[in-house]
Amino acid sequence: MNIDKSQIIDLLKSQGKNDSADDARSQLPDQVDPEQHSDLLAKFGINPKDLLGKLPGFGGFGN
């Protein structure tokens, strides 16, 4: 399942990780596959296994 880059950026910002959000904006593809891009997500402190539970529309914040 792919996740829109903007949702990951919003998640980082909600965690107060504005510098990471800026880096993610320039480094992540528009559509992120948590399995395929797990190393890149880990770089931003995101555990791909926990990601879907943290995003709106996937059972996460805002729901």
pLDDT by residue (tens digit) across 17-57?
Answer: 999 999 999 999 999 998 899 999 999 998 887 776 776 56
- What was the pLDDT predicted at 62? 42
60: left (phi over 0), alpha (psi -120 to 50) or beta: beta
pTM: 0.76
- What was the pLDDT predicted at 61? 44
- What was the pLDDT predicted at 58? 56
